[in-house]
Amino acid sequence: MGKAGKALRQVLETYGISQYQLAVTMQIDRSNVSRWVSEERDPSAEAVAEVNAALKQINPDAASTFIRLYLGSDD
């Protein structure tokens, strides 16, 4: 569990995006983002797509990095 959460946490830290900013862009409660980032809960495939879409609005480079980290190997 947690591959999406790890990728998301790294992207938020790297690009200086707050959990709140992502949640507002996605129109969801910040607690959902917090659960993903803390790896308490994995986002659904649909939520991963929504995270990517929101990150594209905030910072397209962050979205690209998120997908690269999420789909990348566990090296």
Residue 55 region, left (φ>0) first, then alpha (ψ -120 to 50), else beta? alpha
Q: How far apart are CA 51 and CA 36, in angstroms?
A: 11
Residue 72 neighbours by CB under 8 Å, 6+ apart: none
| pLDDT at 2 (0 to 100) | 73
How big is the CA angle at 10 (ends 6 and 15), to the nearest 5 degrees? 150
Domains of the chain: total: 1
pTM (two decimals)? 0.90
Q: Which domain holds residue 19?
A: 3-71
State the CATH number of the domain containing residue 21. 1.10.260.40
pLDDT in tens, 35-67: 999 999 999 999 999 999 999 999 999 999 999
> 54: how many CB neighbours lie within 10 A of its CB?
22
